[in-house]
Copies of this chain bind each other. A is one copy, B any other.
Amino acid sequence: MSAARKSVKRDAILALLRDVHCHPTAEWVHSELRKTYPDLSLGTVYRNLRVLTGAGLIRSVGVVDGQERFDGDLSAHGHFVCKGCGAVLDVALPEMDLERLTDGPHGHVTGVEVRMTGLCRACMDKDIQP
């Protein structure tokens, strides 16, 4: 018995997420991998993103502007989300003891996500000159 079978498409999705730093949406992954796998279906991307997230091989950054964003970098870091353009940038978390938060009085904690929102440099400049 094997729970997960070898899958070229799934491996490609995982590899892509590990390569890029843009925290992609399902659609971005789809259109990107279409270049290599022209028959890749959007449903397959969605399903595998869920499988990979469930397996802890990637993580979700949450929903930005109605679309879920994913991250192949599992190291401890937070995210800055620009309200203007929707860009998601990695943010080093200044040594806050996230482990100390684990298993508080509420239950068993499996993940912590720190999300900052604001305006990125590019959008700050944009907003000055109309």
Contacts and interface: CB of A to CB of B under 8 A. Distances in A.
A60 B104 CA distance: 23
Nearest to A68: B63
B121 A107 contact: yes
Main secondary structure of the interface of A (DSSP, over half): strand
Interface string A61-101: 01100000000000000101011000001010010110011
B108 A124 contact: yes
Given A63-B63, A91-B104, A108-B124, 13 more contacts: A62-B115, A80-B106, A89-B106, A96-B96, A104-B116, A107-B120, A108-B118, A112-B114, A113-B114, A113-B115, A114-B114, A114-B115, A115-B115
